[in-house]
Structures are given as C-alpha cells and as structure tokens.
Structure 1
Amino acid sequence: MNRQQPLDTLIDLAREARDNAGQALATDRRSRQQVEVQIETLGRYRLEYAQRLQQAMFDGIDPATMHNYQAFLRSLDAALERARRALDEQQQRVQASQQHWQQQQRKLSSYDTLATRRAEQASRRESRREMRHSDEITNNTLLRQRNHDAASPSGA
C-alpha cells in the first residue's frame, strides 16, 4: 500500500494541475470571444458611421463636419486595429493554454496508466496467492485422505 500512496498523490496533483490548466484555457477562450465581439461591434459601428457620412455628403455637408466625420472614422479604424492585434495576442494565449492543458492531461493519463498497471499486477499477485492457497488446501485434503485410506483396514 505504501508503494501506491506516492502514486496516488502524484495523480491527485496531476489532476489538480490539469483542472487548473483547463480553467485557464476556459478563461483565455472567454477573453478571446470578448475581443471578437468587440471587433464585431466596432466594425458595425464604423460601417454605420461611414454610411452616415455618405448620406451627409449626399445631403450636403460643411468642411468642418466632414473633417470631424473623417477624424472619428480614423479613430474607429485605429481602435479596430488595436482590437485585431489584441485578438491575435489572445489567440496565441489560447493556443499556449491549450498546449499546457494537453501536456497536463498527458501527464495525468500516464500516471493513471501506471496506477492501472500496478492494480492489475496486484490483482494477478492476489489471484496467484489465492490459487496457491487453494492448491495447498486441496493437496492437504488429498494427503489426509490418502493417509486415512492407507491406515484403514482393507476389507472393512
């Protein structure tokens, strides 16, 4: 039993590490989704604002208002570019987190495999011990019966 205790501890630690890595992966994925939503929102807002500018130009617009529209569109473009860079960085974090989780899962699987092998070996040892014990009982019974048959009178 003492031989399995350290392995059980390793399995528990590996399971905890894998679970923590899974939580970090989930957090990174949620962050990535938030950035994706932000990009979608900024893109829609930029499109709406560009359409307003086109309508304003069609209706007639003074140069100062035109300049304000263009400046705001440039600031939206800059925000979109920052968000795209943030999405690329977040995607890299997701990939790193996923690799870390997979590594932790492989470690846990290898410990589980080792524990399974040890349990199978212990089961085989126990089966062999029980078989030897059963054989010993059978042999003793046969020996007693032979001794009893040899000691009893042959005709009676």
Structure 2
Amino acid sequence: MSSPTPLDTLIELAREARDKAGQMLANERRNQAQLATQLQTLNRYRLEYAGRLQQLLHTGIDPATLHNYQQFLGSLDASIARAHQAVNQQHQRVTAGQQHWQQQQQRLSSYTTLTRRRADEHERRAQRNERRQSDEMTTNAQARRTGQGFTEQGS
C-alpha cells in the first residue's frame, strides 16, 4: 500500500470534522427534544392547575387561596415563556448544527471527488500507455514480418 498523500490526510481530517459535527448535531437535537418535553409538561401542568382553580371558583374560594392560585399561575406563565424562548433558541442551534454538518459533508465530498478524479486520470493514463505499448508491439511485429518477407523475396 502506498503512503498516504496530503489529500488522504485532508480526507481523514474532513471525515473526522464531519463526524464531530454529526455528534454535536445529535446532541443539539436531543436537547431540543428535552426542552420541548419540558415545555409540554409545563403547559399540561398549567392547564391542570387552571382547571382546579375553575372548579374552586364554582364551589367557592377564599381570597387568600385565589391570590395564591393567581400568583402560582403567573409564575407558571413566566416559566412557560422562558421555556418557549429556550425551545426557540435550541431550534436555532439545531439549524446551525445542520448547516455546519452539511458544510463538513460537502467539504468531504469535494475531497473524495478530487481523489476519484485523480484515480480516474491515473487509470486513463495507464490504459493509454498500455495501448501505446500494444500498438508498438504490433507495429514491431508487422515490421519484422514485412522485413522477413523482403529478405525472402530478395534471396
């Protein structure tokens, strides 16, 4: 096996960068899923709590308990707003991660295409040389046959 060329080294580095970008993207997607789950949980909890407050309002509630429920619902709303913001920011990180991975993949593809083109060119040259040698052997063989014919006729 021949020693690695600088292009082989570039391909290996590009492959490692692409794989690392893929791992980072997978982590960002996992984080996005976790944040979305947390947001759903907060929304569900808020709905349940608001439902309890509605029931208490129908059956009767003292002002202190009403105030506590309203305060808690306010803090839940603030938490939901922060969770929405976190989900949106994470979505942006996932999008950036996807773009980064695609760039790394394109870079790797460019290098492998270049390698393939070089190998194809090398193969074409080898075939051309082989045809040239074959043509020379055929020409030499014909020349020998033709030369033998002249010596036999000249004798």
* TM-score normalised by length of structure 1: 0.91
Residue 124 of structure 2 corresponds to residue 119 of structure 1: no
1:93 equivalent in structure 2 = 93
Residue 66 of structure 1 corresponds to which residue in structure 2? 66
Shift of 1:153: 5.0
Q: How far apart are residue 53 of structure 1 and its match?
A: 0.3
Q: 1:51 is matched with which residue?
A: 51
Q: Secondary structure at the match of 2:61?
A: coil
Gap runs ≥5 in structure 2: none
What CA distance in whole angstroms lies between the structure 1 residues aligned with 2:103 and 2:29? Answer: 18
Work out the CA distance in 2 between the residues paired with 1:33 and 1:5: 42
| Residues 28-69 of structure 1: per-residue CA shift (max 9 Å, x gap) | 111111111111111011011001000011111111211221
Q: Distance in 1 between matches of 2:153 and 2:127?
A: 41
More deviation, 4-13/111-120: 4-13
Aligned partners of 2:92, 2:153: CA distance in 1, in Å? 92
Aligned partner of 1:81: which letter? A
Compute the displacement of 1:154 (Å): 7.1
Q: TM-score, normalised by structure 2?
A: 0.92
Cα displacement (A) at 1:12: 1.3
What RMSD in Å do the two structures reach over aligned CA positions?
1.7
- Which residue of structure 2 lines up, in the alignment, with residue 16 of structure 1? 16
Instruction: Tell me the number of residue pairs that the alignment of Structure 1 and Structure 2 aligns.
Output: 154
